[in-house]
Amino acid sequence: MDSLAGLKGGTVIVTSDQVDDCKPKETGVELSGFRGLLAAPKILCFSLFASLGGFLFGYDQGVISGVLVMTNFEQRFPRVGGNGDLQGWVVSIMQLGACLGSIVNSPIADRFSRRYSIVIACAVFLVGSILQAAAINTAMLFTGRFISGLGLGQISMGVPLWIGEISPSNLRGSAVTLQQFAIAMGIMVSFWLDFGTQHIGGTGEHQSEAAWRLPFAIRAAPCVILLLGCIFMLPYSPRWLIKVKRENEALAVLSHLRSLPIAHPSVQAEFLQIKAGALFDELTIREKFPDAKTHVQRIYLQYKDLVTEKHLYRRLFAACMLQFLQQFTGVNAIIYYAPQMFKAIGLKGNSVVLLATGVIGVVNVIATIPAIHIVDRFGRRFILMAGALAMSCSHFIIGTLYALYENSYSEHSVAGWVSASFIWFFIFNFAYSIGCMAWIYPSEIFPLGVRAQAMGIAISTNWLSNFVIGLITPLLLIHIRYGTFYFFFGFTSALFLWVFFFLPETKGVAIEAMDDLWGGNEGKESADRMARIEFELRHEADV
């Protein structure tokens, strides 16, 4: 019974029947998706509110694209706006900060709670937003972008972690998907806000500084709302409360989230299921890494396992490759530099260019919605390959039209609008395919003992790849022009081939069966471990 000692709360009373009830059962009546969220209004409201973090994430990614081509911004920061030599750095330094933020957030979330890790992230992001909105020189602008990135990196880990831990298992995927939808909404709103504020003072040389300062400043409002809401409204994660041995609080929070009394059998059963999961985590780490004497040693051994165990390395490679290829499809090259691309293909006037950019945001939002319904119907591989094929066609057609009409787009406006249409078509196919799959697939394939470390590496790979794309895209557009689209065509084609020949299908595959795809015996060990835990919990309840 030693393995239970660290989890005994002392005052939570359960019966052996409730222990039996904590086992997952297929009842056939649990709702999921939109219907399930509507049937659980507290989960829906809390998840939507927390998804303001995703909105900030998307807004900050999208807002810079329109600001870079505003006349007054170019006048104020000539080395950054227009075709300035530092343009790539002002875009990508945010991703560098986000990469660091995503790494440091894990110990913050474990120490101060998931809820207060979001508060800290919002405070950091707010400082960066103020610096950018008030920037009077390039150094101040760069500092603000980097600090905002730190906050965004923390938010990108903290918000989905919190949402996932307050949601019941049948709603977890749908609730976390609200975060991705909020990111798309943030990108769309920032694009259209840029389109509107560019007219403050006119679009020419008399344009007001408010045209670009306002988009930077306005994101402080949702940030403050999220910060205050986390302090005064959002509950702690019940899983975190159990992790830090605050079991009575965890049971009360769970009762509140499920809108049921504490003594209700389903609340007690879910509480025990969470408790069993916490014990499972402890037992897994203890048995997998018996030689670890300190917390630091255990973390080192977990990371070492990922690169020395063949089946874990294969899974890690797949997860990181998806993150890398997600960025090298060119999606953020378009999101960050869409106005420049639309100008390059012959669209004239800032208003027309920013209008075309705004359409990207709308398409991105619309295409994210069906992903919720198709992912478990058609499978990961089919969706990834369909998206990769369509994205490859888009890049090839855009690059070819650009090569043919690079110097005569003014006489061939139809070619320019066809190119613009295929940029929108690319965004549509990205959103429902690798835009979602790059996050879903890695979350399914890792055993629990190293899942957090593996996901941390995968997310860092995404941010680092994002950083590289933000940095090199202006140079590609200047030096190889239409070759930029052929460059990304190569990676979308590689995505199709890699998925077709090497990536296993995980649709409908149970956790215990993942070893059949990747090798190892983690699944069987996990099943045996959980069986022992259930036996110990039942024995404790009977005693």
Q: Which sequence spans correspond to the domains of the chain?
A: 31-234, 310-508
pLDDT of residue 543: 59
Q: Out of 28-32, 143-147, 257-261, which region has the weakest mean confidence (pLDDT)?
A: 28-32
pLDDT greater than 50 at residue 11:
no
The answer to whether residues 463 and 98 touch, using CB atoms and an 8 Å cutoff, is: yes
CA distance 8 to 423: 57
Average pLDDT value for residue range 177-203: 89
Question: What's the whole-model pTM score?
Answer: 0.81
Instruction: From 204, 219, 181, 207, select the one nearest 64 (Cα to Cα).
Output: 219
Contact between 441 and 506 (Cβ < 8 Å): yes
Domain 31-234 listed as CATH 1.20.1250.20? yes
- Whole-number Å distance between alpha carbons of 287 and 291: 9
pLDDT at 190: 93
Residue 147 makes CB contacts below 8 A (sequence gap 6+) with 97, 124, 125, 127, 128, 131
What pLDDT was estimated at residue 491? Answer: 98
CB-CB contact of 13 with 19 (8 Å): no
Higher pLDDT, 459 or 449: 459
Q: What is the mean pLDDT of residues 401-415?
A: 88
In CATH, what class is 310-508?
mainly alpha
Q: Assign 200 a pLDDT band (cuts: 50, 70, 90).
A: very high
The pLDDT of residue 28 is 41
Lowest mean pLDDT among 23-32, 159-168, 172-181: 23-32
What mean pLDDT do residues 73-86 have? Answer: 86
What per-residue confidence (pLDDT) applies to 449? 65
- Using a 10 angstrom Cβ sphere, with 0-12 exposed, 13-18 middle and 19 or more buried, the burial of residue 350 is buried
pLDDT beyond 50 at 24: no
pLDDT-derived band of residue 510, with 50, 70 and 90 as boundaries?
A: low
If you average pLDDT over every residue of the chain, what do you get?
A: 85
Least confident segment among 21-25, 60-64, 95-99, 282-286? 21-25
Distance in Å from the first CA to the final CA of the chain? 12
**Are 31-234 and 310-508 in the same CATH fold?**
yes
Query: What's the CA gap between 219 and 503, in Å, rounded?
Result: 39
List of long-range contacts for 253-262, beta carbons under 8 Å, 24+ apart: 256/42, 257/42, 257/43, 257/46, 257/166, 258/42, 258/168, 259/42
Q: Is the pLDDT of residue 275 over 70?
A: yes
pLDDT tens readout for residues 216-243: 999 999 999 999 999 999 999 998 898 8
Q: Hey, what amino acid is at 352?
A: V
- Lowest-pLDDT choice from 96-110, 228-242, 468-482: 96-110
**What is the percentage of the chain residues whose pLDDT exceeds 90?**
44
pLDDT at res. 448: 61
C-alpha to C-alpha distance for 238 and 247, rounded to whole angstroms? 8
Any idea how long the chain is?
Answer: 543
pLDDT at 5: 45
User: Which of 25-29, 265-269, 367-371, 539-543 is predicted with the least confidence, judged by mean pLDDT?
Assistant: 25-29
Whether the pLDDT of residue 410 is over 60: the answer is yes
Rg (CA), the chain: 25
Hey, what's the torsion of the CAs at 391, 454, 311, 240, to 10 degrees? -120
pLDDT band at 13 (very low <50, low <70, confident <90, very high): very low
Of the chain, the percentage scoring pLDDT greater than 70 comes to 90
With a cut of 70, say whether residue 6 has pLDDT above it.
no
The 10 Å Cβ neighbour count of residue 111 is 10
Q: Which residue has the higher pLDDT, 492 or 287?
A: 492
pLDDT reported for residue 497: 97
**Helix%, strand%, coil% for the chain, nearest 5:** 80, 0, 20
Separation CA 179–CA 195 (nearest Å): 25
